[in-house]
Amino acid sequence: MRIQSVEPVELGDVQSAGGKGGSHGSPWSSTIILVKVTTQDGAVGWGEAPTTLMTLPVRESVREVARFYVGRDSHQIQQCFSDFQRYSFYQSVSMEATSALSAVDIACWDLLGKELGAPIHALLGGPVRTRIRAYCNGWYSDCVEPSQWAAKARATAALGFTGLKFDPFGDQFEGLTRDGLRLACERVKAVRDAVPPGVDLLIEHHGRFRVPEAIEAGRALAPFGPLFNEEPVRPDLMYRLPEYRAQVPTPVALGERLLNPAHFAEAISRGCVDYIQPDITNSGGFTSGRKIAGIAEAFGVGVAYHNAFGPIQTAATLHMDAVMPNFLIQESFESGWPTWKRDLTSGYTLENGYFQVPTGPGLGVRVNEKVVEAQTVSGMEPLGREPPWVIGGTWVPPDPHAPGSDAPGHPGRSP
């Protein structure tokens, strides 16, 4: 089968953030980029790319990647992938280029599985598990006071999740004030006291701190027994993580900003990380995903895939989870999705805190093209009062009198 077209499709809340059917989380959670790869005989494969304030650059990068796939045999997944790497001079350090490549790669694997009548996990060697333990993220929107954190944590654990991830640091950035650290500790304690002892806490730092502040925070939160601290220092200070790990007993996790197998090999071999968190939509799709998982396994490092965007990303990630001996736990944002995102696909389930691995051919999901048509938008994510990577209402407390979530003077998007 020869590839006829590679089409990026941006989906989002038609009336921008906070509009009808919108997500209560953050602007990024109401935006996704799908990639539709179609062959000359009409077969369709789907991929997904990340957004987070780079929606338009990624969308346009898909068109550049497409030039290396259109007209080629759809079986030549590795060859097309390698050809783009050869030509794309900045691909190894370009989030946009690698994200676009990843999305197209995922779609090509979806096509291959559909042609062969097999799920992607079968093509990767077969599953070692069919039930995937998930942790919930995005559950703490509009939480400021510790009592609010406790109430939402209790409700989320009641859904069956045995892991909760959250960022307790509010508006702290680079520096960390005494009041900021005190409040973070109070929030984590409130969550710990609100959920059963068997529920793991995963502390998100969002790569925001310098090393001394990160160490101070890590030591202060260690008594609550987190499963890991995620991105405790700024990404450009990753080389100092061995120093951090020597002084903080909690394991370190990172990886959503690493783009290829070599990046993960460097982080692991330098002693920077205990658990890696690749994102299948920006680290090379399945073609690189197999290699990244193998590198981690060789070093005895567990894998907990980053997964913050849409259902095509989730489905692809579940196929990797299924085949990895070194799987740790899987991120889930499903509980906070807008209705349209829930209705976009069918084929995998999340019940009582566990995903069921898709069993249909390819990704094993069916895309509702009526939802695609209805939710197609164009433009960057709208800017609000908070950075787009935080959970809404935790950086700036929610203002019930505000006319909308968009910052004055910042356009949203148009259908």
User: Which residues are catalytic, by number?
Assistant: 206, 306
**Secondary structure class of 387 (helix, strand, coil):** coil
| DSSP per residue, 166-203 | E---TT--BS--HHHHHHHHHHHHHHHHHS-TTSEEEE
For residues 160 and 353, the answer to whether their CB atoms sit within 8 Å is yes
**One-letter amino acid of 3:** I
**Secondary structure class of 29 (helix, strand, coil):** helix
| The two structure tokens encoding residue 231 | 């991105």
Report the C-alpha gap between 355 and 43 in whole angstroms: 27
Under DSSP, the state recorded for 384 is B
Q: Across-strand partners of 11?
A: 32, 376
In the numeric block, the tokens 């077209």 are attached to 5
**Secondary structure class of 355 (helix, strand, coil):** strand
**Strand-by-strand arrangement of the 31-39 sheet:** 3-12, 31-39, 44-49
Find the distance separating the first CA and the last CA of the chain, reported in whole Å. Answer: 33
CA distances to 122, 278, 345, 362 from 370, rounded to whole Å, are 30, 31, 11, 21
| The two structure tokens encoding residue 322 | 């299924």
Report the C-alpha gap between 162 and 183 in whole angstroms: 24
Q: Residue 414: left if φ>0, alpha if ψ -120 to 50, beta else—which one?
A: beta
Q: Across-strand partners of 346?
A: 366
